[in-house]
Structure 1
Amino acid sequence: MNNVHNALQAVGLDEDIKVLIATYTGLLKKSYPPSEASNQGRPYFNLFDAMYDAYFAAQSHLGGSNVEIVVSESGWPSTEGDVATTENAGTYYRNLISHVKSSSGTPARPGRSIETYLFAMFDENMKPGKETEKHFGVFFPDQRPKYQLSF
């Protein structure tokens, strides 16, 4: 990551092109309390904040406390599971949008915005695999919205 950023900086493109790396939750050996991925006595009220702070603590332990974290995909399936309902998915997306729009931040990083992207734009009715994996979209494949969301 540093080498790519340094190369972009050398040609004056470091402000125009951002360097990112994708990770997944399986990389965290221990995610709670987040500072061991220490909770300094501020309680966590949702899993999203706890996971975000666990990633921040883990990368801080590796010297990356100044590296911003972007949540590149977060979603909830709307069909084909016990809790995979359109109502639950709509509630998840509305609450997520409301949470990240607020300036509350997380217990470890209060007052900081969290750049977050929804997964996914459209249901993928032709996607192979489990049926539930085809139903994460906020739109149906025919482009009709599934939920009333306010960004």
Structure 2
Amino acid sequence: MSIQRMRANQTILLAFFIALLSHSTGAAPVGVCYGRVATNLPPPSAVINLLKSNGISRIRLFNPDPVSLKPFSGTGIELMIGVPNEILPTLANGTISTSLQWLQSNIFIHISPNQVLYLVVGNEVFLKDPFYAPYVVPAILNLYQALKMLGLDDNIRVSSSHAATILSNSYPPSAGTFDPNIKPLLIPLLQFLRDTGSPLMINVYPFFSYINNRQYVTLDYALFRSSTVEIDQNLTYTNMFDATIDAFVYAMEREGFSGIPVVVMETGWPTGGGDAAEADNALAYNGNVVMRAMANIGTPRRPGVGVEVFLFDLFDEDGKSGEEYEKHFGIFGVDGVKAYDIRFN
């Protein structure tokens, strides 16, 4: 057995042990993203059975497509539902009634509101899809008011998901700073999140940090197994995951927003398609992410505050563009067999 495989197995055993210990103490939730950019996905009934048999009780859907949304009705599985970028102008420029009608006809006609945890208004819009950037906050405000009319504003949180690139500086974490070009759009969002108790939603991928910055980021630092400790503001960092989250925390504090929670909307590690993309590494990374959430470890800046996470992705997506590894983030094969032995509860 390789040293990497031994380490990966030790990681998942530790995750399982700590999860058992922390199960009754209110661990931070762990969910899975259900991407559907693929040609060979199993039928919805099989997906629901797969989720239940593996103890997965939270799912992120990237859009309210009825084919993927309807099967969750009555299952008890909680959902994070995306509001697609292309609908943002309509919601932003319309009235509250427009947002109310959109919610009713696209989401609540298919699923009970008590299964919806979050509305994710736009995905990685700032910087990556700037045409829609001015519409994010107005759309959020209209959707929030529509939820308020329905008496759901305390049950369904509204936010938007962001790539790590909205930080112009992330190292060391205490130097975390938002890109000045997006601050006029971001500050009103942060004000809304603070006022409503909603989280900042971020996508965190140490895999990308490693493959794009190997001269600065080691594989061990990305995989939670570094023996090197980095000190920043008297806090110790041993992995990229913590450092990235805390960079966002510091960036918010720098703008005067200190209490906004952080939810990791996407994080994961590919099992193929490139260097370091393999099942052992995916198990080591995702296993540690789950273990830390279940144990409420938090980060050096927010110790003991468990980070809610959604692992990417449920299945490989052969329809994804870009590098080959983009197609290989699946935790399960389409036959329902795990790509590696990770546990979720």
| TM-score, length of structure 2 as denominator length | 0.41
Q: How far off its partner does 1:34 sit?
A: 1.4
Bigger helix fraction: 2
Does 2:141 align with 1:3? yes
Q: In structure 2, how many angstroms separate the alpha carbons of the residues matched to 1:34 and 1:8?
A: 37
Q: In structure 1, how many angstroms separate the alpha carbons of the residues matched to 2:253 and 2:147?
A: 23
Pick the structure with greater CA Rg. 2
Per the alignment, residue 116 of structure 1 pairs with 309
Relative CO higher for 1 or 2, CA cutoff 8 Å, sep ≥ 6? 2
Q: How far off its partner does 1:75 sit?
A: 0.6
Q: In structure 1, how many angstroms separate the alpha carbons of the residues matched to 2:267 and 2:342?
A: 15
Secondary structure at the counterpart of residue 19 of structure 1 = strand
Task: Call closer, same or farther: CA 1:25–1:66 in 2, change over 3 Å.
Answer: same
Bigger strand fraction: 2
When the two chains are superposed, the root-mean-square deviation of aligned CA atoms in Å is 2.1
Secondary structure at the counterpart of residue 29 of structure 1 = strand
Aligned structure 1 segments of 4 or more residues deviating by more than 6 angstroms: none
Task: Call closer, same or farther: CA 1:90–1:10 in 2, change over 3 Å.
Answer: closer
Does 2:158 align with 1:19? yes
**Mapped contact 2:292–2:306 kept (Cα < 8 A):** no
Q: How far off its partner does 1:8 sit?
A: 5.1
Give unpaired runs (5+ residues) of structure 1: none
Q: In structure 1, how many angstroms separate the alpha carbons of the residues matched to 2:147 and 2:258?
A: 20
Per the alignment, residue 72 of structure 2 pairs with none
Q: In structure 1, how many angstroms separate the alpha carbons of the residues matched to 2:296 and 2:280?
A: 26
Per the alignment, residue 254 of structure 2 pairs with 61
Per the alignment, residue 10 of structure 2 pairs with none
Matches within 5 A, 1:1-151: 1=137, 3-4=141-142, 7=145, 10-11=148-149, 12-37=151-176, 39-151=232-344
- Number of equivalenced pairs: 151
| TM-score, length of structure 1 as denominator length | 0.88
Secondary structure at the counterpart of residue 169 of structure 2 = coil
Give unpaired runs (5+ residues) of structure 2: 1-136, 177-230
